[in-house]
Amino acid sequence: MSLRHFLSTQHLSRAELEAIFSLASAFKREPTGHALAGKGVALVFLNPSLRTRTSFELGVHQLGGHAVVLEPGRGAWGIEWREGAVMDGEAEEHVAEVARVLSRYVALIGVRAFPRFRDWAEDREDPVLSAFVRHATVPVFNMETILHPCQELAHALAMRERLGDLRGRKYLLTWTYHPRPLNTAVANSALLIATRLGMDVTLLIPSEEYRLDERFLAAAEANCQESGGSLRITTDIEEGYRDAAVVYAKSWGALPFYGRPEEERPLRERFRHFIVDEAKMALTRGGLFSHCLPLRRNVKATDAVMDAPYCFAIDEAENRLHVQKAMMTWLIAENTPHV
Amino acid sequence: MSLRHFLSTQHLSRAELEAIFSLASAFKREPTGHALAGKGVALVFLNPSLRTRTSFELGVHQLGGHAVVLEPGRGAWGIEWREGAVMDGEAEEHVAEVARVLSRYVALIGVRAFPRFRDWAEDREDPVLSAFVRHATVPVFNMETILHPCQELAHALAMRERLGDLRGRKYLLTWTYHPRPLNTAVANSALLIATRLGMDVTLLIPSEEYRLDERFLAAAEANCQESGGSLRITTDIEEGYRDAAVVYAKSWGALPFYGRPEEERPLRERFRHFIVDEAKMALTRGGLFSHCLPLRRNVKATDAVMDAPYCFAIDEAENRLHVQKAMMTWLIAENTPHV
Amino acid sequence: MSLRHFLSTQHLSRAELEAIFSLASAFKREPTGHALAGKGVALVFLNPSLRTRTSFELGVHQLGGHAVVLEPGRGAWGIEWREGAVMDGEAEEHVAEVARVLSRYVALIGVRAFPRFRDWAEDREDPVLSAFVRHATVPVFNMETILHPCQELAHALAMRERLGDLRGRKYLLTWTYHPRPLNTAVANSALLIATRLGMDVTLLIPSEEYRLDERFLAAAEANCQESGGSLRITTDIEEGYRDAAVVYAKSWGALPFYGRPEEERPLRERFRHFIVDEAKMALTRGGLFSHCLPLRRNVKATDAVMDAPYCFAIDEAENRLHVQKAMMTWLIAENTPHV
């Protein structure tokens, strides 16, 4: 039997997505389950985390299991990802052993591995997550690499809780300013899930340099074909916000300057006015606002927006706990041989 | 319903304190309970911990729950505390979001946030703990900020286990030498709980610069009015130790030099002889000794004192486990709507 | 009643070892137990860990308990080990208090404390583990210091699962190259357990400077007297590998250069050819291969060897989970007064 993992929502059918949403809603009413009774889950964090770690640790506990948090390079050994490497550098251990040993101890392995921000051609292959998938003998799930599918599920569920059917609703994904060039994962993910659910998606970027990777734009286009949604890209703030039902904000680095943040800086500094504020939100049609968190207040969005009744970022974060329990329950069931 | 937190023992009535002591003693006989069954507790540590972390992690487990240990800035995102801040510095997240998101995941939030040792006028407002209280939608408890109320409970229970009624007993809180100016939290707390329980308290300081903050001295005086205890301050070692029933030692920094440790150093270095040793203990009336730990042996107290039968520091530390379970059980009950 | 600890397999009788192997095999079939129901275990890590931490955290959970991971100096206070020390340096706390306080909270204390690599005369006394044993009032177990007895159990069980009775089988312990001089613990341990179980042991070293400490060589010789095994030492690669049934690889530092890695380097660099490769394995009699992990691929052993069917390193690592549950179950039972 070949394993099913949870690396991207694109690998799940619409019916599977719906089953996960439905199970997540059930977990919001009755938080506990038994899918991980007596089992372990390894949470491998190459990068910091608050929500992801807390929601997974508690989620695993609520399913009867125990999560082990591993932070390679900080408390655990540094890890090599490249096949065939002569390991005479810093890394003391290869992912081949890490993934195979953990697979003997636990039922599921979660991996957070942000890009290294040196070479996008390399990072876009998701080398760390791919290496875990190659070597693990239990299912692997994505806790944010170049996509953040758990955030997608939490975001989509929160929108549906407020708006019901999302088809034909205008969804704005807006770039916002942040002092450093961040990961594109949540932006890529927002495009994928919003188009998947048939929304009319506008991607608002400050300049062409901030276009997302063509692979994800193409996947979003393909999603629209299937779902009846649409995707357009604009640099016009007014056009982006006008009549939006949902505004989702995220900051990311310009791919043409990938790995060279100092060269990108002068461009980036011109776009501080992309901050989400009340004036921009007034252009929407009573639009909702959210962000994946963490968020720098008064840099990415103003206090007034974050504290407004239309902001559902906290509800979205809450949903992480429940969609992840649903996802893990699904993963276990999906990989259990049926008689 | 407005939330009740556990920030200071001063916020609890005598009857509530007695109920917690009584429940703690019951937990010493039968360690497990059900108050946190299926629930999570967030333990937010801005500073290191051994006893606090171990006793809370195990205490939560013994109450049926699961504790998540978060160390912002080390494994989790750095946090901003000030309202209205333009977050273009180091912090990636505001406590407004941290506290509100954690409140969706867990039943209780514990916070350890030592002062920053720059400006006492700022630190004495307990800004981090206050920010959590302002934003959390679940009860918050203090794991040491500018007070250490969990230590107070453990200390008081250990004294009562040995001495019974504490009213009228002479209690010495003595400053001791330590190479660095430490937090005043445990010293403030010792004054509060000993006066609350009606003891005759002597605060022994090496010089006027080591007086504790007037707010806590005033609160201790008020406690004496109610409890029949007393509070005096001396710089005379013999007067301090003579006939004491309990000696409690702690080192702290001189508030007039707050944030300028190099300027305080020459003063501090004159007082190495405040170390607790057998000669000083011989002045007491068969007095007991304790310290909150960690303690530098042969700097704050000698090996002979630490290893003497009259030292109850280990018993006090053990009590942490049980008073904290009692406190959490009380917090949950106190914040549960009654029909 | 004096406590029994788990510091070295040498302290256990053959019958006790057999009972642990037998219980470990039972745990492989049925992973859960009740020996730690409602109890805590402290895992004190002075050094990084992946397998040890994961397998102990999950093992404790599978026995019904809760493990608290403590990393003194990183999240917890730095610790002093020397008796009588005047603690005016970096350490904030003495092991006397750490061990005694933890003993009040937990049922068992595990300690990982690698040598400090300054002075072998000091490190060979295992000062940190000894200090915990001196002060703890609950059983202590060794998670790797200058021996690694948990690894011994996992290694031996894995060999027996493949080969049955090990008496008279040729066992090669070969030094391998690594860029830094590592701990001798696993090498010492491999000699002890293989001679204990009656194997014909060859220790292959690149030069006399890499002999292991005489204490462990003498203990291995004594084991041979009892078990009917044998021990020889060689610097001849062919002689070492020829007809071996098991090849176990480990890198370690040359004791005559202890604490002076730069002086050892020129010697060490001459021995890169001690890497375990297919050509060397072809000299064995269908020999098995293993390593305790972490392993630098293509430095200590080639990819081809690590990925060969005869490599049982992953199975050995899996056994850690089960032998440790057996060891903890034994420790609890052994220290429980019988009526």
Q: How far is CA C210 from CA B225, C192, C246, in A?
A: 74, 17, 21
Amino acid at B95: V
Q: Domain map of chain B by residue range? A: 9-147+320-334, 150-316
Q: Longest C-alpha distance within chain B, in Å? A: 61
**pLDDT given at position B250:** 98
pLDDT in tens, A213-262: 999 999 999 999 999 999 999 999 999 999 999 999 999 999 999 999 99
| A168, A199 contact by CB (below 8 A) | yes
Q: Residue C108 pairs with which residues in a beta bridge? A: C41
CATH architecture of C149-316: 3-Layer(aba) Sandwich (3.40)
Q: How far is CA C97 from CA A224, C101, C201, in A?
A: 64, 6, 42
CB contact under 8 A, B297 and C96: yes
CATH number of B150-316: 3.40.50.1370
Nearest CA-CA distance, residue C328 and chain A, Å: 17
Query: ∠ CA(B21), CA(B211), CA(C87), 5° rounding?
Result: 75
What is the rounded distance in angstroms from the CA atom of residue C222 to the CA atom of residue C243?
A: 24
CB contact under 8 A, B104 and A51: no
Which chain C residues have any C-beta within 8 angstroms of a chain B C-beta?
A: 38, 40, 42, 66, 68, 70, 72, 75-77, 80, 83-88, 91-94, 96-98, 100-102, 104-106
**pLDDT given at position B73:** 76
Nearest CA-CA distance, residue A185 and chain C, Å: 27
Q: Which residue in B75, B96, B104 is closest to A317 by CB distance? A: B104
DSSP A179: S
**pLDDT given at position B122:** 94
**pLDDT given at position B72:** 84
Which helix (H) or strand (E) element contains residue A157? helix A149-163
The percent of chain B in helix, strand and coil, each rounded to the nearest 5, is 45, 15, 40
| CATH fold match for the domains A9-147+320-334 and A149-316 | yes
pLDDT in tens, A267-295: 999 999 999 999 999 999 999 999 999 99
User: What class has domain C9-147+320-334?
Assistant: alpha beta
pLDDT in tens, C123-136: 999 999 999 999 99
- Answer yes or no: is pLDDT of C69 > 70: yes
> What b/e readout covers A240-266, taking b as 16+ CB neighbours within 10 angstroms?
bbeebbbbbbbbbbbbebbbeeeebee
Q: Which residue in B80, B100, B102 is closest to A54 by CB distance? A: B102
Q: Model pTM?
A: 0.96
Average pLDDT on B218-224 reads 98
Nearest CA-CA distance, residue B217 and chain C, Å: 28
Nearest CA-CA distance, residue B337 and chain C, Å: 29
Q: How many contacts, defined by CB atoms under 8 Å, are there between B and C?
A: 89
What is the rounded distance in angstroms from the CA atom of residue C203 to the CA atom of residue A74?
A: 34
> What b/e readout covers C148-167, taking b as 16+ CB neighbours within 10 angstroms?
bbbbbbbbbbbbeeeeeebe
- Answer yes or no: is pLDDT of C78 > 70: yes
Using alpha carbons, select from A172, A168, A173 the residue that is nearest to residue A224. A168
Using alpha carbons, select from C78, C28, C70, C11 the residue that is nearest to residue C323. C28
With a pLDDT cut of 90, the percent of chain A lying above it is 94
**pLDDT given at position C74:** 73
Q: Terminal CA-to-CA distance of chain B, rounded, Å?
A: 13
Neighbours of chain B (3+ CB pairs under 8 A): A, C
**If you measure CA to CA, which chain A residue comes closest to B37?**
A62
User: Is B209 strand, coil or helix?
Assistant: helix
CB contact under 8 A, C62 and A86: no
| A320, A151 contact by CB (below 8 A) | yes
Nearest CA-CA distance, residue A89 and chain C, Å: 9
CB contact under 8 A, B314 and C101: yes
Tell me how long chain A is. Answer: 339
- Answer yes or no: is pLDDT of A197 > 80: yes
Q: Terminal CA-to-CA distance of chain A, rounded, Å?
A: 13
CB contact under 8 A, C50 and A86: no
Spatial CB neighbours of A302, under 8 Å, sequence gap ≥ 6: A275, A276, A277, A278
Q: Which residue in C38, C72, C88 is closest to B299 by CB distance? A: C88
DSSP A46: S
Spatial CB neighbours of B14, under 8 Å, sequence gap ≥ 6: B196
pLDDT in tens, B61-115: 999 999 999 988 776 677 999 999 999 998 999 999 999 999 999 999 999 999 9
